[in-house]
Homo-oligomer: A and B are copies of this chain.
Amino acid sequence: MHINQIDTPAAVVDIDKLEANINRLQDYLDQHGVANRPHIKTHKIPEMAHMQLRAGAVGVTCQKLGEAEVMAQAGIRDIFLPYNILGETKLERLMHLTRRVQISVTADSEVTVRGLSQAARREGTTLPVLVEFDSGIGRCGTQSPQETAELAQIIAKSPGLHFGGLMTYPISAHVDAFVAETKSRLATAGLPVERISGGGSPCMWQVHEHPAITEHRAGTYVYGDRAMVKSGAMSLEQCAFTIIATVISRPTAERGILDSGSKTLSSDLQGLEGYGLILEYPEASIYQLNEEHAHVDFSPCPRKPDIGERVTVIPNHCCVANNLFNQIIGVRGEVVEVVWPVAARGLLQ
């Protein structure tokens, strides 16, 4: 089947570029002796996770229990879930996973640690728990090395738990001093920090500048998107994930409407102007989205598209765009090679 036989809007992945992206990061991390633990939230597709593992990843990272369950069902045996797992239902699901999978999680509070400890003790297992610390972006995480070291010691003393190390996102200049002070505090307490897990795709080529980092979690690198290109971590040519759309209306000389709206591209701006880059019309601006319509200003383009013309859009944020599709079309050149169900999307946390 030729790519032109795929109806629009469709999410298409160039398999050659996908493989190159997987190998490029793996080679870099191998070269610097850092474990690669890719984040599957970008693709949510078991076969892609297996491609990453075959290339040399030590395991995968999932953001939700539902994603971890899908990956476990696909035969993946080493899963990191860097999230505060809270509540009886989720703790029970997590414990069920420990029976089949080597799984580690994170905590940034005693409340989370207490729940994990009770569940693991009841299960009769030992669960590795890493402390999440705030890299400076102000999301989750302990706020100081002192707080981090204290929580690590609470984990180490909690029945059923093993202190598994430190986790943060993204790696930043802030991280090195934070980790050094935390390690020093924990050394005094006689507690080794066996694993320091950093994350992020835009910063992935700077991992070697942070020698304390022992593993890296990148998600977006597998596809690439407009935000990644803006960050300088990938080139436009390396972007493997595109949305094929059709120009369905040309109501005025300057305006065109595509069949790819906020339910296709998502409304994520990621600090960019417009909602995506049209490869065939790079000067055009996708200035507004409705659910199934993209409003495009083609006025700066020397040639304007015809109604019915197909265009290729690099979305701002591939992770949320991928999550809007039931299926991703895998192409080699212009030939459809595989249709992947997005197995781990839309599930319960």
Q: Which residues of A contact B (CB under 8 A)?
A: 5, 7-10, 41, 63-64, 83-84, 86-87, 89-90, 108-109, 111-112, 115, 134, 138-143, 246, 248-252, 255, 257, 259, 262-263, 266-269, 290-293, 295, 306-308, 319-320, 323-327, 342, 345-349
Check A109/B307 contact, CB under 8 A, given A263-B323, A291-B319.
yes
Assess whether B292 is in contact with A83, with CB atoms less than 8 Å apart: yes
Assess whether B143 is in contact with A251, with CB atoms less than 8 Å apart: yes
Check A349/B83 contact, CB under 8 A, given A257-B139, A323-B263.
no
Assess whether A10 is in contact with B63, with CB atoms less than 8 Å apart: no
Would you list 21 pairs from A and B whose C-beta atoms are within 8 A, ordered by A residue?
Answer: A7-B90, A41-B291, A63-B292, A86-B246, A87-B246, A87-B308, A111-B306, A111-B308, A115-B308, A134-B251, A139-B251, A139-B290, A143-B251, A143-B252, A262-B268, A267-B269, A267-B320, A291-B323, A325-B346, A342-B346, A346-B346
List of 3 A-B pairs having minimum Cβ-Cβ separation, nearest first: A326-B346, A140-B249, A111-B307
Assess whether B267 is in contact with A84, with CB atoms less than 8 Å apart: no
Q: What residues of B have a CB within 8 angstroms of the CB of A89 in the complex?
A: 5, 7
For A7, give the chain B residue with the smallest CB separation.
B89
Pick from A89, A323, A342, A346 the residue with the most CB of B within 10 Å.
A346
Assess whether B320 is in contact with A64, with CB atoms less than 8 Å apart: no
Q: What residues of B have a CB within 8 angstroms of the CB of A255 in the complex?
A: 138
Check A87/B7 contact, CB under 8 A, given A111-B308, A324-B346.
yes
Check A10/B348 contact, CB under 8 A, given A87-B308, A140-B251, A307-B86.
yes
Assess whether A139 is in contact with B41, with CB atoms less than 8 Å apart: no
Distance, CA A141 to CA B255, complexed state (A): 11
For A309, give the chain B residue with the smallest CB separation.
B86
- Contacting A109 at CB < 8 Å: which of B246, B249, B266, B293? B249
Q: How far is the CB of A323 from chain B (nearest CB, A)?
A: 5
Check A308/B141 contact, CB under 8 A, given A63-B292, A349-B292.
no
For A86, give the chain B residue with the smallest CB separation.
B308
Q: What residues of B have a CB within 8 angstroms of the CB of A327 in the complex?
A: 346
Distance, CA A334 to CA B5, complexed state (A): 48
For A85, give the chain B residue with the smallest CB separation.
B248
Check A63/B267 contact, CB under 8 A, given A108-B249, A308-B86.
no
Assess whether A251 is in contact with B9, with CB atoms less than 8 Å apart: no
Q: What residues of B have a CB within 8 angstroms of the CB of A266 in the complex?
A: 262, 266-267
Assess whether A86 is in contact with B248, with CB atoms less than 8 Å apart: yes
Q: How far is the CB of A341 from chain B (nearest CB, A)?
A: 10
Assess whether B139 is in contact with A293, with CB atoms less than 8 Å apart: yes
For A260, give the chain B residue with the smallest CB separation.
B349
Assess whether A259 is in contact with B7, with CB atoms less than 8 Å apart: no
Distance, CA A255 to CA B140, complexed state (A): 9
